[in-house]
Structure 1
Amino acid sequence: MTSSPPGGARDTIGQGIRRARNARGRTLEQVSEEIGVSPATLSLIERDKVSVTRARLKEIAAALGADPAELGWGTDPEHEAQLRVEPESERPHVLGAAIECFTRRGYHGTSMREIAQAGHMSVAGVYHYYESKQQMLVSALEPAMVELRDAVVAAGQRHPEDEPEKRFAAMIEVLAIFHITERDIAFLGGSELRSLEGANRERVVQLRRGVQHLVDAEAQAAAAAGAFANPDILFASRMVVNMCVSLARWYDPEGPVGPDDAVANAVAYALAVMKSTAVGA
């Protein structure tokens, strides 16, 4: 059984699935392949962006070797409410298929027909839920960036304001976790930002900048407190954020360094950079 969340709070269905998956050392790719959905769709399920049927929850539990109750089924009336609507809405599956296609072929290299094929539905069915590829890209990126920003804020708030080094480290940890566990979305956030149009692009860019500014503020506070010694604190802060962002492009969770160690390394390297007094020759 997985451990309960801190403070006695109950997991949502999605949180319960993620907690059980992580406890068993399974990746999104491994579990999604077993249940016949894309990693992007399973990621949406874990973030409670997708409601699941009882049948789907049983499939996930079986793939994890878990009792459905461990994932939250039957433990709380609110959880039961998450499972009442059947059959599953096709909207999240269309979005998951689009994310998968955009990641593999690029936004401009993907057609609506290819998205329909990946989602096992007709082109008309895709248009029933999304009027364009642009709407799909925005629907994938904007909520993810809002969620990341909120998670970064919450991470910093776990520590007192007079401990900026710990607040900074907590924020870097969240960034590393996001770019390791949400690789498809994170990859699109870096590679397809240029494909967003007009106001869509501006909103997502502002969210990304907002995350960077949160990290910058803690870096500057830590420097003022004497915890960080890098002579160019903002350059260093932006470099370590981009170090985390790059994880989505190259990190392999099935490689020699496990996700937990990769996150710990990212935090350690970030702190080392911020405390370094070395400058270029």
Structure 2
Amino acid sequence: MQKLKTAHMDFSVTENLQMQSQGTATPTSQSSVLPSNLALSLQGSGDEIFPGQASAQMKLSIPGLGTDLQLNEIVKDGKVYIQNKQGQWYVLEQSSLTGTSSFLEAANSDQYSRLLTLAQKAQLTDHGDQPLHGQSLRHISVSFGKDALKDLLNSFEQLPSGLSQSDLQQIEQVTTLQQADLELWIDEQSFYVHELGITLKMDIDLNKLLQTTPTTSSPSLSGVFSTQTAATVDYSKFNQPVTINAPANATPTDNPLTIFQQ
């Protein structure tokens, strides 16, 4: 087995959000049902140099927005560089984005290591060798139990930026994991993962959420907020030469929202 030094990746992510809630803006107003449905899609490609370097070009599509949002992102030397649609580069400390605004941060090898650790407690199905993209690869399915969310939250050696341990406990209390599946396509000779697929379905109880974060100004809400995520990452061009350069004209910031407010 040759140590993996570089890889190319092509990825796609779809996110479906649904909310069915009742709200009353004032004590005298009538209760009204406020349905909300939103579908997001993200597509892109990039390269990784292990460990700690990556670059990607992404397109985010949101129905009703009118145009797709084009983004470029680079991770190098402990910093994250993000280019907005105006072409301006911004730079943030990588540690400030742990578990938050960076796609490459969310897709790094540490996150996969957590999933593989959790897989030891999950149900594994070995489908044997199956064809994928013209190759014969070992296909393994992993189905996680309902306690996988708790195990994942407890697996963080360093808490995601802006979150405390009590915040993670609150997330666990208000969230029900309905489905968590992982699909792996592996080369048995090199043990490289050629494709990784993730399916997640979660429900967030708005009643419990408001009980843990009561406010006097927010309208009364009840119901369930559901999310369904499907992500696929294809890896190729293993150990081929890759060069990743950091932009020289990046503007420092500690607020990711600044990047997209231009």
TM-score, normalised by the number of residues in structure 2? 0.24
Q: Give 1 or 2: higher helix fraction.
A: 1
Which has the bigger relative contact order, CA under 8 A and spacing at least 6?
2
TM value normalised by structure 1: 0.23
